[in-house]
Amino acid sequence: MVSEVRTELEGNTQKWAEIMRVNMRAYETQARNQALTFIDTSGFPKDDDTEMGGA
């Protein structure tokens, strides 16, 4: 997941992209420490893809 997000953010200088980079660095740190991470998917669009919380 991290590599996919990095690919999507590559070259993007918008504010939301920088925020996402910070979030992904925190996620990676937590993952290395084997901490459980909750990803809130409640704001994701509703579709047939249930992999990341869609309905």
Q: For residues 25-33, give the mean pLDDT.
A: 86
Query: Do 27 and 37 form a contact (C-beta atoms < 8 A)?
Result: yes
Is residue 21 scored above 70 in pLDDT?
A: yes
Helix locations, 1-55, DSSP H? 2-9, 15-32
pLDDT band at 52 (very low <50, low <70, confident <90, very high): low
Is residue 6 scored above 60 in pLDDT?
A: yes
Q: What is the pLDDT of residue 16?
A: 93
More confident residue, 29 or 2: 29
Cα-to-chain-centroid distance, residue 55: 18
Return the domain boundaries, the chain.
2-32
Tell me the CB-side half-sphere exposure of residue 30, using CA atoms within 13 A: 12
More confident residue, 45 or 6: 6
